Chain A
Amino acid sequence: DAKTTQPNSMESNEEEPVHLPCNHSTISGTDYIHWYRQLPSQGPEYVIHGLTSNVNNRMASLAIAEDRKSSTLILHRATLRDAAVYYCIPRGTGNQFYFGTGTSLTVIP
């Protein structure tokens, strides 16, 4: 399974966009890129996933590099409720998710 590199922490001002980067240079051609987040005292929560094309949903956007070696999760307007640890997880044919250490996002009022 592909290994990932994410910043340990990031800060954002409330109501501003946030770009959370992830490097996954060893990703295979069939691995989907999943993003999850974990709010305090809760289980991981699905955010978005994609394979090659950029993806949008009500929570976020996912921008995937053309070579697929990196991706960026975009929160268009950060709110205090978006403060969480964000995990980038390439998911291949195995059924295990490798969470890594993620990026702890702090949203400043």
Chain B
Amino acid sequence: EAGVTQFPSHSVIEKGQTVTLRCDPISGHDNLYWYRRVMGKEIKFLLHFVKESKQDESGMPNNRFLAERTGGTYSTLKVQPAELEDSGVYFCASSTEASYNSPLHFGNGTRLTVT
């Protein structure tokens, strides 16, 4: 089966611009997660979708970040306007179930550089 795919793999934008990251989960996976690693820090949770609904968005850093999953398939994460501290790698993951017995499948991430 195809894995989790993320687009683009790299993005370089200027401070103040807008960027949209896309994630295509594994087909049939209702649960979709966004994580990120900013420079020198640990990988941190951002939010969790179950189908098209946001189950937990407690990790979203501020209102410059907007995640959507229309139709319950692919998801987008928009950063508007981008700030320097948003630079990092953004990972998407999906799973069949949200239970703690279900492994997550991660994409290879989008490396975002804000200059």
Contact = CB atoms under 8 A, between A and B. Distances in A.
Interface of A: 30-32, 34, 36, 41-46, 49, 51, 91-101
B42 A43 contact: no
Interface stretch (B63-71, B75-83, B95-103): B95-103
Interface residues of B, number: 25
Given A42-B108, A43-B91, A97 B45 contact: yes
A46 B42 CA distance: 17
Given A95-B56, A96-B56, A97-B45, A41 B108 contact: yes
Given A43-B93, A93-B100, A95-B56, 14 more contacts: A36-B104, A42-B108, A43-B91, A43-B106, A44-B106, A46-B103, A46-B104, A95-B31, A95-B33, A96-B56, A98-B42, A99-B43, A100-B42, A101-B42
16 contacts: A30-B100, A32-B100, A43-B91, A43-B109, A46-B103, A49-B101, A91-B100, A92-B100, A95-B48, A95-B56, A95-B98, A96-B56, A97-B35, A98-B45, A99-B43, A100-B42
A33 to B, nearest CB: 10
Nearest to B55: A95
Interface of B: 4, 31, 33, 35, 42-45, 48, 55-56, 58-59, 91, 93, 98, 100-101, 103-109
A44 B91 CA distance: 9
Contacts, number: 54
Contacts of A32: 100-101
B67 to A, nearest CB: 14
A8 to B, nearest CB: 13
A99 B33 CA distance: 14
